[in-house]
């Protein structure tokens, strides 16, 4: 340890070294020392939980031109490289020890090979730069949900993003390191790599994101996009899923929200929606309360199914955010306070994006560089004023509708789980599962969505995404499903619902964007047995009378019988076609739970019986 101490002291101020010494953990020091030896920084800054250190990081991001100040106080813009605008699945891999094989659907490579490649790419990557060491916490500090995290990077933008998105974790490191014999924490090492004249990662073809899950470590290089660099985001979800598997809880890609019911009642719901399927918009429904928009941990506490928001902020897709559909977010994005805009268009210090209220300029600076309407990108593709996956980063505390109890260290009791897909021709807008098992198997495990710009690849392709977690699974699909089926078996579990906001007829959506506020209210009533439902073979759907009343109460709109018919017609051929797609997929999964097979067979039998009795397309009034 004397050699490590000397190395650390040679690169740090005395203040930074004393901060590290106060944690008094050999693994922490060794991980930092290895990063210094490998990446060769000019100096090392160690931050704690103080406002001064947080402010220093934000200013450093501006000084290094990773963020550019905008006209409104506290607002900045960050640009990623043209080819670095989303998660890249093909270069995101698990590092697997010799003799171990993860599910064949997961992207993986031999651990030794991956470590060698990553270290070669990161070697000398901090030359002439300052290495930043920051401590954060997943989940509420000083709680059973808390997971300490150590981030090493040369990007002040990464650390500034984490300061908005996560709880400060320096004191949590000290607490757990001192009180836990087997202290476990997550760690990340990121290197921006060579940058171009716009200060964006230049060698995008050498972008790599590797998870060394045996060491609770993620490593990334030649990238700035937050999904690849902010270690506590989806990179941590992969580590947390394995930790949860070992310890008997669940780590999920879900929002948490509070729905305000009759008589001052509040019911908490958690929901899994693939990207651009309405996840953040559901969590942010006007009149309801948001707890978190992306990641949730589930644990049983005092015999109750409880969930905690893993995060402290929102890294949201900004496309189509406007004052009518997203008034709470719009308010935050247009008033003073800390906001990081990512890959939007900027003209004279003002940000613009696709689908906003304001008229879009024909020229400005965006993810392409200097941009004009109609220009082609470096790859010859058409460009837009802002990238379709452009983002905003804000803090929970700045949201007017943040639930007063959102940071409860005991988590919050969950009354309902929602699985929200995206399809134009199959599922009704909302339905309720018959049981926990039916919901997990026929809604969560069969979740599909049409691909969007949030992941690189062709748009508009319907893809399977088990519980919206397929990209982040770090174990076999079958084992993950079984863990969900088995979780909290001995207590009252939440009711399960499926949603689809994207059903169409003649190319037109049958839902307005804010109709989801009605579906949520119906779920809240169903959880408390205060609304009726109709058996539709694939679950229970609302009765017309309840929806008519709710549309008037919630939306001040008349809801017609024709609206109800076109939205809630049961489309048997399309539902059975989905069963066929799922059967083909699960035939390739060696450890598919028998419960899944049984639930799918039961649903198919019900649908085929309905088809034989009432035809292919069944009005809800005929059920």
Separation of alpha carbons 357 and 362, rounded Å? 15
Closest CA to 524 of 435, 445, 420, 418: 418
What's CA 267's distance to the chain center, in Å? Answer: 22
Helix (H), strand (E) at residue 369: strand 369-372
8 Å CB contact between 511 and 429: yes
Which residues neighbour 370 within 8 Å (Cβ) at sequence distance 6 or greater? 363, 364
Catalytic residue at 538?
no
> Of 277, 368, 385, 538, which residue is the catalytic one?
277
**CB neighbour class for 101 (10 Å; exposed up to 12, middle 13-18, buried from 19):** exposed
Closest CA to 575 of 610, 547, 620: 610
8 Å CB contact between 577 and 583: no
8 Å CB contact between 284 and 478: no
Helix (H), strand (E) at residue 89: none
Helix (H), strand (E) at residue 304: strand 304-309
Helix (H), strand (E) at residue 108: strand 108-110
For residue 330 the two structure tokens come to 């719009």
Q: Which residue has the tokens 């560089």?
A: 369
8 Å CB contact between 462 and 90: no
DSSP output for 559-591? --HHHHHHHH-EEHHHHHHHHHHHHHHHTT-TT
Separation of alpha carbons 210 and 29, rounded Å? 22
User: Which of the residues are catalytic?
Assistant: 277
């Amino acid at each position: 340890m004397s050699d490590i101490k000397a190395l650390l002291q040679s690169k740090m101020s005395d203040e930074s070294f004393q901060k590290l010494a106060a944690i008094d953990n050999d693994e922490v020091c060794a991980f930092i020392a290895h990063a210094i030896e490998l990446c060769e920084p000019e100096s090392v800054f160690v931050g704690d939980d103080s406002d001064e250190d947080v402010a220093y990081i934000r200013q450093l991001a501006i000084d290094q031109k990773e963020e550019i100040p905008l006209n409104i106080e506290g607002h900045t813009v960050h640009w990623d490289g043209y080819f670095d605008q989303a998660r890249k699945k093909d270069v995101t891999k698990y590092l697997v020890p010799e003799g171990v094989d993860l599910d064949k659907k997961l992207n993986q490579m031999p651990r030794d090979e991956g470590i060698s490649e990553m270290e070669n790419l990161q070697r000398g990557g901090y030359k002439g730069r300052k290495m930043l060491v920051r401590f954060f916490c997943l989940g509420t500090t000083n709680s059973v949900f808390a997971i300490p995290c150590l981030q090493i990077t040369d990007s002040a933008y990464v650390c500034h993003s984490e300061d908005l998105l996560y709880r400060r974790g320096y004191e949590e490191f000290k607490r757990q390191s001192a009180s836990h014999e087997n202290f476990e924490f997550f760690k990340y090492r990121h290197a921006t790599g060579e940058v171009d004249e716009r200060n964006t990662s230049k060698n995008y073809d050498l972008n790599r994101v590797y998870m060394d899950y045996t060491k609770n470590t993620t490593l990334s290089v030649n990238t700035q996009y937050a999904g690849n660099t902010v270690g506590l985001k989806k990179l941590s979800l992969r580590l947390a899923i394995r930790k949860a598997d070992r310890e008997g809880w669940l780590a999920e890609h879900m929002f948490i929200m509070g729905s305000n019911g009759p008589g001052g009642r509040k019911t908490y719901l958690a929901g899994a929606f693939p990207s651009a399927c309405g996840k953040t918009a559901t969590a942010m429904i006007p009149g309801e309360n948001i707890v978190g928009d992306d990641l949730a941990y589930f644990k049983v506490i005092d015999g109750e199914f409880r969930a905690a928001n893993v995060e402290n902020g929102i890294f949201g897709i900004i496309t189509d955010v406007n004052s009518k559909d997203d008034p709470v977010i719009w308010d935050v994005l247009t008033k003073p306070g800390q906001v990081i805009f990512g890959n939007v268009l900027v003209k004279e210090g003002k940000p613009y994006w696709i689908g906003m209220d304001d008229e879009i300029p024909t020229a400005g600076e965006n993810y392409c560089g200097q941009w004009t309407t109609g220009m082609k990108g470096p790859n010859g593709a058409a460009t837009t004023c802002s990238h379709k996956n452009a983002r905003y980063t804000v803090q929970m505390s700045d949201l007017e509708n943040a639930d007063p109890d959102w940071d409860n260290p005991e988590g919050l009791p969950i009354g309902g789980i929602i699985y929200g897909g995206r399809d134009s021709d199959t599922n009704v807008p909302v339905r309720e599962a018959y049981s926990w098992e039916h919901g997990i198997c026929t809604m969560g495990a069969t979740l599909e969505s049409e691909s969007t710009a949030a992941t690189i690849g062709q748009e508009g392709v319907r893809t399977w995404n088990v519980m919206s977690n397929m990209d982040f699974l770090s174990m076999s699909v079958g084992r993950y499903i079984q863990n969900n089926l088995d979780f909290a078996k001995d207590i009252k579990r939440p009711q399960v619902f499926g949603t689809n906001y994207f059903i169409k007829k003649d190319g037109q959506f049958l839902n307005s964007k804010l109709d989801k506020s009605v579906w949520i209210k119906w779920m809240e009533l169903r959880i408390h047995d205060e609304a009726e439902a109709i058996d539709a073979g694939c679950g229970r759907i609302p009765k017309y009378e309840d929806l008519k009343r709710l549309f008037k109460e919630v939306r001040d709109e008349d809801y017609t019988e024709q609206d109800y018919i076109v939205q809630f017609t049961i489309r048997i051929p399309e539902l059975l076609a989905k069963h066929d797609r799922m059967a083909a997929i699960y035939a390739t999964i060696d450890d598919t739970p028998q419960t899944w097979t049984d639930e799918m067979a039961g649903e198919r039998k019900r649908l085929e019986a309905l088809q034989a009795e009432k035809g292919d397309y069944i009005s809800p009034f005929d059920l």
